[in-house]
Structure 1
Amino acid sequence: MHATVVLAAAHAAPGINGMQLLGPVTVTGFAAASGVCLIAGLRGSDRIKIQNKDQALIWGFITGTLWVAAGGTWADFANGLGDVGKSMTTDTGLGDPGLGGSALLMLLIAWAWPWKKRMIWPALLGLMGAVLAGQAGGLPGILVSLIRSVVVKYSGG
């Protein structure tokens, strides 16, 4: 003789459940929101200010990290940009710097170059650097993993 016991939880009341401060938002939702914020800030939004290359680099880095974490088409797009960054540093006749070296070069160029008012380039280089840093591991990979972990935690994933 076997007994089957079914336990059903009551429907949660509206409010903050777990770490879902905005309700159910997936990593994909955060990736899309980050992309919208990046584009809006680069286009001169009155609400989202990207006024210098450091801010553009940070927004690009976070957006690239979230796009890879979201997977699917988002990750394909980010990895494609990462491949562009990798191709700019490998097969140049100067040797192969490795993934970590490629990430470092992308981030250094974004940070050190005088971009004037063209904030799109540090943002794209930051995005490429984030993808390559995540693939390379090491210290930059830890930062990428930390950002991903925090977003996954807040998304309830």
Structure 2
Amino acid sequence: MIRLATAPATAPTVDGHLAGSITLSGVALGCALVLFFAVRKADRLKHLHNRDGIGVFGIVTGTTWMAAGSSWAAAATGIAAVPTSVLGAGSGLGNPGVGGTAVALTALTFLPGWKRTLWPALLGISAAVVYASAGGVWGMLVNTVRMLVGNITGAL
């Protein structure tokens, strides 16, 4: 006997989630891949391949990694361990506080004339980790991205 596929009883809907059934981990993976290929000078990402574009997308990637939690947050925290230990409390630079460390990492991401775009990418990820724990205006950035991504993906 031959069975024919039947149409679903109802048409599929968007249900308010523009990206369908993607999770925050899926968004974190997508951001990681875009950042990797932007640093590697992929032709389709020419608009990102400059110090500022890589820095901004490093911050976005780090923010989505922190929002995704688990292994993604652990990877971001690992990347941030070195620059935050050099700039943060107990570094010999006094105690700038978490907000001061966030300012310093943001300045290091965008102000130097980096020849290699890997540094702004790593410093941007590090800045996002510090933003997540700094609170204030820094924490608002992380929470805003978390809410936007969560609403789009349905992960909230």
How many residue pairs end up in the alignment?
Answer: 146
Paired with 1:144 and 1:70, the residues of 2 have a C-alpha distance of 11
Superimposed CA distance per residue, residues 35-88 of structure 1 (whole angstroms, 9 cap, x where no aligned partner): 000001111111122221110111100000000111111111111222222101
Paired with 1:26 and 1:15, the residues of 2 have a C-alpha distance of 18
1:81 to 56, 79, 82: 79
1:23 aligns with 2:39: no
Counterpart of 1:119? 117
Counterpart of 2:96? 97
Between stretches 82-91 and 103-112, larger displacement belongs to 82-91
Superposition deviation, residue 33 in structure 1: 0.2
Superimposed CA distance per residue, residues 99-152 of structure 1 (whole angstroms, 9 cap, x where no aligned partner): 111111111011110113x11101111110011011111112111111111001
Paired with 2:53 and 2:10, the residues of 1 have a C-alpha distance of 39
Paired with 1:129 and 1:113, the residues of 2 have a C-alpha distance of 15
Matched letter for residue 28 of structure 2: A
Counterpart of 1:4? none
1:44 to 29, 41, 47: 41
Paired with 1:45 and 1:146, the residues of 2 have a C-alpha distance of 29
Paired with 2:10 and 2:106, the residues of 1 have a C-alpha distance of 44
Q: Secondary structure at the match of 1:24?
A: coil
Residue ranges of structure 2 left out of the alignment (5+ in a row): 1-8
Identity %: 39
Superposition deviation, residue 31 in structure 1: 0.4
Paired with 1:83 and 1:14, the residues of 2 have a C-alpha distance of 45
Counterpart of 1:6? none
Paired with 1:139 and 1:29, the residues of 2 have a C-alpha distance of 26
Counterpart of 2:4? none
Name the TM-score, length of structure 2 as normaliser.
0.87
1:57 to 55, 58, 63: 55
Paired with 1:126 and 1:151, the residues of 2 have a C-alpha distance of 19
Paired with 2:137 and 2:118, the residues of 1 have a C-alpha distance of 26
